[in-house]
Structure 1
Amino acid sequence: MRKLFNFVRNSLKKSFDNIRNEKLKYNLLQAIPFWIGSFITGLFAVIYAQMFQWGENLMHAMMNWHAWLIFIVAPVAFVLSWWLVKRFAPYGKGSGIPQVMAAVELANPKEHSKISYLLSIKIIIFKVFSSIILVIGGGAVGREGPTIQIAGSVFRKVNEFLPDWWPKISKKNMIMTGAAAGLSAAFNTPLGGIVFAVEELSKTHINYFKTALFTAVIIAGLTAQTFAGSYLYLGYPKTSDISIIIIFPVILVSAISGVFASQLSRIMLMISAWKKRLTSDRSNIIFLIVSALIIATLAYFINSEILGSGKGIMQRVLFTENKNEDWYMPLFRMLGPALSFTSGGAGGIFAPALAAGASMGSVIAGWINLTPHETNVVILTGMVAFLTGITRAPFTSSIIVLEMTDRHSLIFYLMLAGMVSSLISLLVSRHSLYDELKEMYLEEIRKE
């Protein structure tokens, strides 16, 4: 094995030495770390997605077998998920996107050593296990935010392993590119990854790292497709034969989703702030058990769709004849993520936000008796609007939903939904959930 490694290494070195153009050599050396990070990110994203889906399938199988088990499994899973993060990786809790945003801000000469709190191999390991345990216990969390923190950690480590003679690469650009590659691989949405890096993360002019960003997104996406197959996150919902009149329900659902999403963000921030007063492990465990039992009770006695990431809801309302949700489901799909996201375990809010928006669109479409195709349009715009209300990134939200459904004809409705939600959300609170959490993490880290 060692002989084979040395042979490959010497062959590559000889080929590289034969390149006469020094600028080409320099650019190649600059690009290689991004390519390596992108490939690893794509591979990790596929493995994590399959593990997370296995956990969610196990939870649904348990509910179909003996639903009462949720009263035992949920409290145990919530506590174990929280304990793993608290004990081994305190900054691995929650989504991961605010941590990446904080890491980008810390990527300066004075504070770059603190990035290891937010992005590391340890974060990758316990982020994965904590989120899978949480979703097995019915936690309403997703894997997309964690994938972004995992990708940021991968790119940071690749940068750290470079020898001293290697051309220096900006830590900030490396982390931002990793985050974009992570989102691209998680949703199979390359444009969404690029727009996310520009809209949510970047305070640097994109010209400084656009080539690295584009190639990283492409390589991560192609790697994910190679191992998982070419797929759309959701599929091809039918949206033909709609008239311009649909714009009025779109504006209505966008405004309502923007208000509810912003309120959900405020509630989660309030719970997080209140939880800081719980200084003992006992009080935290009591909170987790109560939260888990609330979710379990609603799932057992009323509707089990409060559990998990909510992808099943999106698929049902978009691709079956059963398009109308009960009036309380948007509230359930807000309560589940509120208690799960603030549990202290790992898990994202991207997919649950999309599910909440889908249920909101489904309920409103049912109230005004829209056709199935019109209902699909309102559901998709509700998804964009709710995600925008959480992230305050209307273009990212629009492009992600566009790419995961391949409904290019709806781009103007999706962008309208994002803009309406963004404007309405500003009336509720000025800053996004991610911005508030980022500042919270920065304050904690700078004190250490």
Structure 2
Amino acid sequence: MIKPIMLLRRGFASMRWRTRVTLWIAATIAGLLVVAFARLADMALAQFAQQTAERAWLPFIYTPLIGMLVVWLTTRFFVGAQGSGIPQVIAATRLARQGKPINRLVSLRIAFAKISLGTLALTGGFSAGREGPSVQVAASIMHFFHRFLPNARIVRREDLILAGGAAGIAAAFNTPLAGIAFAVEELGRKLETRTSGVLLSTIILSGMVAIALQGNYNYFGHFGIQDINLDIVVPALVIGIGCGLLGGLFSRMLLWPQRHPHLMIWQWRRLHPVWFAGICGLVVAILGWLSGGMSFGSGYGITSQVIASDLVLPWHAPTTRFLATVVTYFSGIPGGIFAPSLAVGAAVGANTAELFHLAAPPTIALCMVGFLAAVTQSPITSAIIVMEMINSHSMVISLMAVALIAKAVSSRMGPELYQQLARGFLESAEPATKPKIPTR
């Protein structure tokens, strides 16, 4: 009697280890793909900057054409790859929980499209980030590896997709802790107790792969902030409210097509998505020309310069970046809003510091965390991402306070952005999953 029990225990232990190894391989591949995506995105941004440096007229032709090509490929071959990627992952976890098909939202095909088309869009100068798409890429990889588990019932599909999405954030921002916070805060699922340890280890491993390949660097650079005192309390309160209002407005604008689908402009977009993308590309080109090129791309370059030096931005920098990001999202290209949102916050902070004669580094940091927290309504994740850039522990409380204030203000203006966008994918999946009623 004892021998069969021992054999059963050994088999179960072996199965657990095979599960761990499978998930760790998946996490490693996810981390590698996210890093590769980051390198491709950097190359695309550099190419656009090089091509347009001496040809200011080029974006007026090139950006609309790239937008039309990307949206045509997306609508023709890769439906489900449009937009950020985070709403798709949220929708996929809910559909998986209901036992419904999710291959239109997370699959190897979608991961390939997200990387290739997202990179192509950045060569056109669209104001989009790679962080949201990285979430969908990593979730797709983890979902694919679910079939290789020795026992598929050990780890639920929705938990694996959730862990994959969090691993994408961890690798994209080089911050494993941000990935864990994002899993709990934004993707909105509690991991099952018996598998939480191994799934958390996959999130950490994916982030460690990114650190091993790219070094332990900070995403936008490093703030040189001295210890601060109570004088920051009033500015932090004002920044939290102001960025909360701006971020809430930004979210409401992104939700405009979903909340008012009957408007003629959105009906025309549904009928002619490629032409609509071309018009959006032209608007992005005009905004880039008006801003002297500052609103093109993800905003990574200009934000890094603002953080590293006392670079003075023109007054229109936040507005043009804000509008370029909204128009880019409307176009339907695969691209996220994390990096552009941080760029808007940095521009707001730089202008605020100059206008009110405040110390630039802490003001920029507070505005970055405030705007991102207001847009995503994920204050903990936002605070962790910005905390990684700061060498002063005295700002931790201020960052958390601004993030919470901005989130509270934004939540008064509308629902959570990603959760609301996920509803659109859930509603579009309903007709395909509802059983057909036979007719007599």
Common fold, TM-score beyond 0.5? yes
Partners of 1:86 and 1:48 in 2: how far apart? Answer: 22
What is the alpha-carbon distance in structure 2 between the residues aligned to residue 264 and residue 20 of structure 1?
Answer: 55
Task: Choose the corresponding residue for 2:199, options 213, 234, 250.
Answer: 213
CA contact (8 A) 2:249 2:413 kept: yes
Q: Which amino acid aligns with 1:418?
A: A
* C-alpha distance in structure 2 between counterparts of 1:416 and 1:136, whole Å: 37
Compute the displacement of 1:22 (Å): 4.4
Q: 1:279 to 1:313 in 2, by over 3 A?
A: closer
1:42-441 maps to which residues of 2 (within 5 A)?
Answer: 42-111=31-100, 114-162=101-149, 168-204=154-190, 207-271=193-257, 273=261, 274=263, 276-278=266-268, 283-322=272-311, 324-370=312-358, 374-405=359-390, 407-429=392-414, 431-441=415-425
- Residue 134 of structure 1, CA deviation: 1.3
CA distance in 2, matches of 1:74, 1:379: 30
C-alpha distance in 2 between matches for 1:233 and 1:204: 28
One-letter code aligned to 1:220: S
Deviations 1:88-144, CA, capped at 9 Å, x for gaps: 111100000000000111122532xx2111001110111112211211111000000
What residue identity is the alignment partner of 1:168?
I
Partner of 1:24: 13
> Whole-Å Cα distance in 1 between the matches of residues 31 and 392 of structure 2?
24
Name the CA shift for 1:205/1:280 in 2 (closer, same or farther; >3 Å): closer
- C-alpha deviation, 1:241, in angstroms: 4.2
Cross-structure match for 1:446: 430
Kindly provide the CA deviation profile for residues 345-385 of structure 1, in whole angstroms up to 9, marking residues without a partner as x: 10001101111111111111111101xxx321111111111
Query: How far apart are 1:87 and its partner, in Å?
Result: 0.9
RMSD: 2.1
What TM-score do the two structures reach when normalised by structure 1? 0.89
Does the CA-based 8 Å contact 1:30-1:167 persist in structure 2?
Answer: no
Identity rate of aligned residues, in percent?
A: 32
In the aligned structure 1, how far is the partner of 2:324 from the partner of 2:161? Answer: 31
Identify unmatched segments of 5+ residues in structure 1. Answer: 1-17
Between 196-205 and 56-65, report the one with greater CA deviation: 196-205
Letter in 2 for 1:346: P
Q: State TM-score, norm by structure 2.
A: 0.91
Provide the rounded CA distance (Å) in 2 between the counterparts of 1:38 and 1:398.
Answer: 25
Q: Distance in 2 between matches of 1:25 and 1:377?
A: 51
Q: Tell me, in whole angstroms, the C-alpha distance in 1 between the residues paired with 2:129 and 2:152.
A: 37
SS of 2:67's equivalent?
helix
Change in CA separation of 1:109 and 1:306 when aligned onto 2, cut-off 3 Å: closer
Counterpart of 1:401, as a letter, is V
Q: CA deviation at 1:287?
A: 2.4
Give the distance between the partners of 1:383 and 1:207, measured in 2 at CA. 34
CA displacement at 1:162 relative to structure 2? 3.5
Secondary structure of the residue aligned to 1:249 is helix
Which residue of the partner structure matches residue 9 of structure 1?
none
**Alpha-carbon distance between aligned partners in 2 of 1:405 and 1:135, rounded to the nearest angstrom:** 28
Tell me if structure 2 keeps the 8 A contact 1:237–1:318.
Answer: yes
Quick check: 2:18–2:149 contact (8 Å CA) kept in 1? no
1:10 is aligned to none
CA distance in 2, matches of 1:388, 1:22: 46
Distance in 2, matches of 1:192 and 1:109, equals: 28
The answer on whether the counterparts of 2:27 and 2:167 sit within 8 Å (CA) in structure 1 is: yes
Give the Cα separation in 2 of the matches to 1:198 and 1:280: 34
Q: Distance in 1 between matches of 2:73 and 2:296?
A: 21
Contact 2:89–2:165 (CA under 8 A) maintained in structure 1: yes
Residue 34 of structure 1 aligns to which amino acid in structure 2?
A: L
How far is the alpha carbon of 1:206 from its aligned partner? 6.0
